[in-house]
Structures are given as structure tokens and as C-alpha cells.
A = this chain, B = another copy of it.
Amino acid sequence: MTTLKPLSDLEIARNANMKPITEIAEKAQIPLDAIEQYGRYKAKIDTNQINLDPTGKIVLVTATSPTPAGEGKSTVTVGLADALKRLEQKVIVALREPSLGPVMGIKGGATGGGYAQVLPMDDINLHFTGDLHAITTANNALAALIDNHIHQGNELNIDPRRIIWKRVMDLNDRALRNVLVGLGGPTQGVPREDGFDITVASEIMAIFCLATSIEDLKLRLANVLIGYTYAKEPVFVRDLGVEGALTLLLKDAFKPNLVQTIEGTPAIIHGGPFANIAHGCNSIAATQTARKLAEIVVTEAGFGADLGAEKFMDIKSRQGGFGPDAVVIVATIRALKMHGGVAKNNLVEENVPALTVGIGNLEKHIETVRQFGVEPIVALNRFITDTEEEIQTVLHWAQKHQIRIARTNVWEEGGAGGIELANHVLEVLAQPQNFAPLYNLTDSIEQKINTIVQKVYGGKGVQFTDRARKQLEQIEKFGWDGLPICMAKTQYSLSDQPNLLGRPEGFTINVREIIPKLGAGFLVCLTGEIMTMPGLPKQPAALRMDVAEDGSAIGLF
């Protein structure tokens, strides 16, 4: 510890001694022919040139229900990988790409923190290798082609009131949630109601993350449901015949990106759906590439085990034909105190009674992971205001309930701060796990949702709005009910009410809309008030951003 002003994440990142990406690739045994450099420290990997079997074990990092500031899940993910590397393991970390929405909005960055970061953090947080832009463009090209088809005679008889394909932007832009397009008279398109989602919620992002090859990508794009005809028959991308063009727009983006952690561990960062409004995991292409190259792949899924981890295990694992071999649940004293009822401004003060109550949230996430047949390890991630009594409270609770727990301090110490956790992970990896998804695809939609609500959220059951009920019936009528469920739910609570903290019970989840994503291969259930396009706060992070005289970034963190 020092009394000097601590360095910011961006300053630590800038002081780091990055290795040329070719050197990282070489150490990861990626043939140099498979590497396409994007500057000195980023590269795309041509996966066709890596002819190995994906045999690496998967360590999935998830968390308790988070505070708005986050619990350092990405930081622990990176730090754990660095710790495993220090223990001489052949490890790769696989992460999602940041979205400019939260970067410009609240978060200012999403690449870990302190001495557990992926680099170059400014590039990764800004445009990186352009993948999100390619996805945005493919999404909006499809929207333009749909509206143009209608304007040019509407041969397919598409009902403009029943188009479910929305436009997207990789920004937080509340004013675009509900719009009217096609105004201005007969030469300016056909007027209709529309809306913009954030790019990470696009079905194309989900497809991009779940496709196992370029051919699979194209097939999934062809199968996207865009809306219905006036006769209420479904219309697909294949009816428009533009799956080839969309695949062309995505072909380079589909190659996973290679970067490095501060400690030189290879990191594959690819795809970035949010876990509250989408399925929340990096691409299968990235995970499988990492599994081909490394013996251990450390990967994260967004937010708590109720969101990203559930979807990792019920959606991504099913599609990819793998499962987690160990699951880490990141918890902080801060978040647990908040779940015990402490107000945001009082979190810096010691409060053991509140902490004891708040542990209930962690407990539920542990139970959830165990229901999938995998043994969880709690990472108690150090925060500067933690008191020793608070820490001991959590450790004793864990000991009493026979829960694996490790203290981590990777923000400050890098991989050295994750050794205890890494040793636990290695022990769990040495044991056989009994992973299985939580529900059967042949269950009814209502059964599947009820399973998630009861077993994962700890709630009573599900309630549908009339609209959602109608959509459910339509989905069953068309035979699309054999798909897994992608719940869109607030990350702050196990319920669909953001203020219901801790471990709530007896609540009902309200499904207000069910959207069939037939290319991605899941049914999105919008619950509570969850928005698929975030807004900016009163003081967006953008206000603090700038470029220094030497051309480097200011205000990312």
C-alpha cells in the first residue's frame, strides 16, 4: 500500500509493457499465417488454420447480483487467468467485447481494472477491430432492405405493423427507443412504428456469438424471422434473399480477436451481448479457439449467475457442445452489504449485521450453480473499504456451509492476487463434474420459464401479459417452442424488480413480450421494465473524455 494517489486503470494500462501481438501468438502456438495484425497489439485469428481439437477445460466466472459499479468480475476473470499462468498452466482468457454504449455512458471502460486488465485497453474500449460496427451495419442493412422491399412493391406482402426486426446503434440513445420512420410522403418510404435496440441486443450479435462456422452463420442469418405478412404468415431473411450480403458484412468480424493481459496471458475477445437483455457470453468461435490452444479457458458471462451463467449453461453450452468444468462466483463485501439493505452512500462503513443478511444473495447464486451439477468457488474480491471483521464474517459463513472460497486482490496485485483462487480452481478441475442444462428443450415454454424462475431466481412462477400470452400461442402454433429461453431481466435483483435486493422470495416474474429469435435459436422473454436500449445518465462518461497532446486517450477507466 502507498499513500500516493493510486494510478487510474488507463494510467496502469499505459505504463504496461505490451509485447508485440506476434509474440503472444507464438507463445500460444498460433501459426503466424493465421494472424492478421490490427496495429501492433491486436490481431484477428483465421481459425481455419488451427487444426486442433477443442479439449481445453472451461472455467466460467460469474457473480452475485451486482451493484451499479460492478463487482470486478472481468477483473477477477483476467486476474485468475494470470494467476493460472503463474502456476505454469497453459491458459487463455476469453472475454466479450465492450459496447460503446456503456463506455460513453457510465462505465467508461470494460476491460478489467488495475493490474488485471486486457490491453490495449483504450483500443478495446473504443472501436477495437470493428466487430460491433460490422454487426450494427448488418443489422441496419437488413432493416433498410426490409423497408425498401415494402416501398418497392412489397412482393412478399409484409405487414408493416408486424415487423419485429428493429434497427440498432452501439450507443445508449433513449430517444431512439420508439420512433416513427418512413415519414414525408410517398417517395420517402412507408410510415411505420419502429425502434432501435443497442447493438449488443441485436439478434445478429447473438447469431455471431452462437455460430460454429461461416456456413452456420449464413444458415442462421437466413432463418431470422423478420415479421409477418398481412395473412400473418412468418417472413424470414431467406425470403428476402439477403443472407449472403449479411454474411459478407460479417465475414471478417467473425474471426476472433487476440490481445493480451498486462501479464502477457493471451486473451481472445470476441462478441459482446449484454447478459440482462441478451445471452451475455463471448462467441463460441472464441471459446472453441481458446479450447484448441489452451488447457484451461477462463471465461466470463455477464452479471450474476441468474443471467449470464444461466444462459451460458442453458443456451451457449447446449449449442457449443461443452459445459463449464468449474464455476467461480465473484462477490464483494460492498455488494453483500447493499443486498443486506445498506444505502449506496453508506457502503464504505463497516456493517456486519447487514452483511450477514446480504449473504443470502450469494447463497442463492451458489445454489443455482450447484443445480447445474458444477461445484462453485466463491472469489471474495477485495475492495479498499472492506474491514477484517467483515471479511472474516464471510469466510466463517463459507466454512460453516462447506463452500469453497478464496480471497482475491487482483486489482492491486495482478495474478499474484489470484493464486489462492487459482489453486481452488485447479482442485475443482481435477474432480469430475456432472454438468447438465437445467431444463429440457422439449418442455413447454411455460415449463422452461418456470424452471428458470423457480430454480434460478428463487421465485414463485411466471405471469404473462395478454400480449405475451398471444405471442406464446403463436410461437407454439408455428412449432418454434422447442427453443431455449433467453430471459431479459434486470441484473440488480433476482426478481424482475430492480429494487428487490438480497434473496427475495415469493415473487412472480412478469413476461411482457416473447420475441422469437429463430436465427439465434432462442426465445427472448422481456420481463419487468427491462429496456433493450439503455439511456445516458445526467453526466455521461463522455464529458470526461479527451485526447492528450501525444494522441493518447483520456477519460477511459
Q: Interface on A for B, CB 8 Å cutoff?
A: 36-40, 44, 48, 100, 104, 123, 126-127, 129-130, 133-134, 136-137, 140-141, 143-145, 147-148, 151-153, 169-184, 188-190, 192, 214, 218, 241-242, 244-245, 247-249, 251-253, 535-538, 540, 542-547, 551, 553-555
Given A145-B542, A181-B179, A252 and B174 touching (CB < 8 A)? no
> Which chain B residues border A253 with CB–CB below 8 Å?
127
Distance of A17 from chain B, by nearest CB (Å): 17
Distance of A534 from chain B, by nearest CB (Å): 10
Query: Is there an interface contact between B100 and A141, defined as CB atoms closer than 8 Å?
Result: yes
Assembly CA distance A48 to B151 (angstroms): 49
Distance of A236 from chain B, by nearest CB (Å): 15
Distance of A503 from chain B, by nearest CB (Å): 29
> Which chain B residues border A538 with CB–CB below 8 Å?
152-153
> Which chain B residues border A174 with CB–CB below 8 Å?
144, 147-148, 151, 182, 188-189
Distance of A538 from chain B, by nearest CB (Å): 4
Assembly CA distance A551 to B218 (angstroms): 12
Q: Which residue of B lies closest to A146 (CB)?
A: B175
Q: Which residue of B lies closest to A215 (CB)?
A: B549
> Which chain B residues border A178 with CB–CB below 8 Å?
182-184, 188
User: Which of A151, A537, A540 gathers most chain B CB within 10 Å?
Assistant: A540
Query: Is there an interface contact between B180 and A180, defined as CB atoms closer than 8 Å?
Result: yes
Query: Is there an interface contact between B171 and A144, defined as CB atoms closer than 8 Å?
Result: yes
29 A–B contacts, CB within 8 A, in A order: A37-B37, A38-B39, A48-B551, A104-B141, A123-B252, A126-B252, A127-B130, A127-B137, A127-B249, A127-B253, A133-B133, A140-B171, A151-B175, A175-B182, A177-B183, A177-B184, A178-B182, A178-B183, A178-B184, A178-B188, A179-B179, A179-B180, A179-B181, A179-B183, A189-B535, A244-B546, A248-B545, A251-B547, A251-B551
Distance of A3 from chain B, by nearest CB (Å): 31
Given A39-B36, A175-B182, A245-B545, A151 and B535 touching (CB < 8 A)? yes
Assembly CA distance A126 to B190 (angstroms): 28
Query: Is there an interface contact between B171 and A177, defined as CB atoms closer than 8 Å?
Result: no
> Which chain B residues border A177 with CB–CB below 8 Å?
183-184, 188-189
Query: Is there an interface contact between B247 and A546, defined as CB atoms closer than 8 Å?
Result: yes
> Which chain B residues border A190 with CB–CB below 8 Å?
175
Assembly CA distance A36 to B192 (angstroms): 45
Distance of A9 from chain B, by nearest CB (Å): 16
> Which chain B residues border A553 with CB–CB below 8 Å?
248, 251
Assembly CA distance A36 to B120 (angstroms): 14
> Which chain B residues border A247 with CB–CB below 8 Å?
546-547
Query: Is there an interface contact between A245 and B555, defined as CB atoms closer than 8 Å?
Result: yes
Distance of A126 from chain B, by nearest CB (Å): 7
Query: Is there an interface contact between B127 and A252, defined as CB atoms closer than 8 Å?
Result: yes
> Which chain B residues border A143 with CB–CB below 8 Å?
173
Assembly CA distance A144 to B172 (angstroms): 7
Distance of A469 from chain B, by nearest CB (Å): 23
Assembly CA distance A40 to B44 (angstroms): 11
Query: Is there an interface contact between A245 and B543, defined as CB atoms closer than 8 Å?
Result: yes
Query: Is there an interface contact between A40 and B48, defined as CB atoms closer than 8 Å?
Result: no
> Which chain B residues border A554 with CB–CB below 8 Å?
244, 248
Query: Is there an interface contact between B173 and A248, defined as CB atoms closer than 8 Å?
Result: no
Query: Is there an interface contact between A147 and B175, defined as CB atoms closer than 8 Å?
Result: yes
Query: Is there an interface contact between B173 and A147, defined as CB atoms closer than 8 Å?
Result: yes
Q: Which residue of B lies closest to A160 (CB)?
A: B175
> Which chain B residues border A189 with CB–CB below 8 Å?
174-175, 177, 535
Q: Which residue of B lies closest to A155 (CB)?
A: B538
Given A188-B174, A247-B546, A134 and B127 touching (CB < 8 A)? yes
Assembly CA distance A463 to B171 (angstroms): 41
Assembly CA distance A105 to B550 (angstroms): 40
Given A249-B126, A251-B551, A242 and B133 touching (CB < 8 A)? no
> Which chain B residues border A145 with CB–CB below 8 Å?
536, 540, 542
Assembly CA distance A172 to B148 (angstroms): 9
Assembly CA distance A130 to B46 (angstroms): 19
Assembly CA distance A252 to B123 (angstroms): 9
Assembly CA distance A130 to B253 (angstroms): 11
Q: Which residue of B lies closest to A218 (CB)?
A: B547
Excluding A140-B173, A175-B188, 14 further A-B contacts by CB distance (< 8 Å) are A48-B551, A126-B249, A127-B249, A130-B130, A144-B172, A145-B540, A147-B175, A152-B536, A174-B182, A175-B182, A177-B183, A177-B184, A180-B183, A245-B555
Assembly CA distance A141 to B460 (angstroms): 42
Assembly CA distance A554 to B243 (angstroms): 12
Query: Is there an interface contact between B546 and A245, defined as CB atoms closer than 8 Å?
Result: yes
Assembly CA distance A132 to B130 (angstroms): 11
Distance of A440 from chain B, by nearest CB (Å): 35
Q: Which residue of B lies closest to A100 (CB)?
A: B137
Query: Is there an interface contact between A175 and B171, defined as CB atoms closer than 8 Å?
Result: no
Distance of A513 from chain B, by nearest CB (Å): 14
Assembly CA distance A248 to B133 (angstroms): 16
Assembly CA distance A214 to B553 (angstroms): 12
Q: Which residue of B lies closest to A150 (CB)?
A: B175
Query: Is there an interface contact between B245 and A104, defined as CB atoms closer than 8 Å?
Result: yes
